Amino acid sequence: MKDENELVVKVTKEIVVKFIEVGRLSVNSFEEAWKQIYKTVSESITEKRG
């Protein structure tokens, strides 16, 4: 389970960094975006394994 959570955080981080780099995400919306992206990545990984 730890490995799965670590993977979700790493993938979420990469997506958030890319969004910031291309100007699609600002500091003001970071928290909300992080939560949404984390949830989506987590659900995607769970679907693949389930």
Domain regions of the chain by residue span:
2-49
The pLDDT value given to residue 47: 81
Model confidence, pTM: 0.85
Query: Rounded to an integer, what distance in angstroms lies between the CA atom of residue 4 and that of residue 20?
Result: 24
Residue 19: Cβ within 10 Å count: 16
CA 36 – CA 40 distance, rounded (Å):
6
pLDDT category of residue 1 using cuts at 50, 70 and 90: low
Residue in the structure block whose two tokens are 């679907």: 47
Place of tokens 């949830």: 39
**Spatial CA neighbour of 13 closest among 46, 43, 37, 32:** 37
2-48 pLDDT tens trace: 889 999 999 999 999 999 999 999 989 999 999 999 999 999 988 87
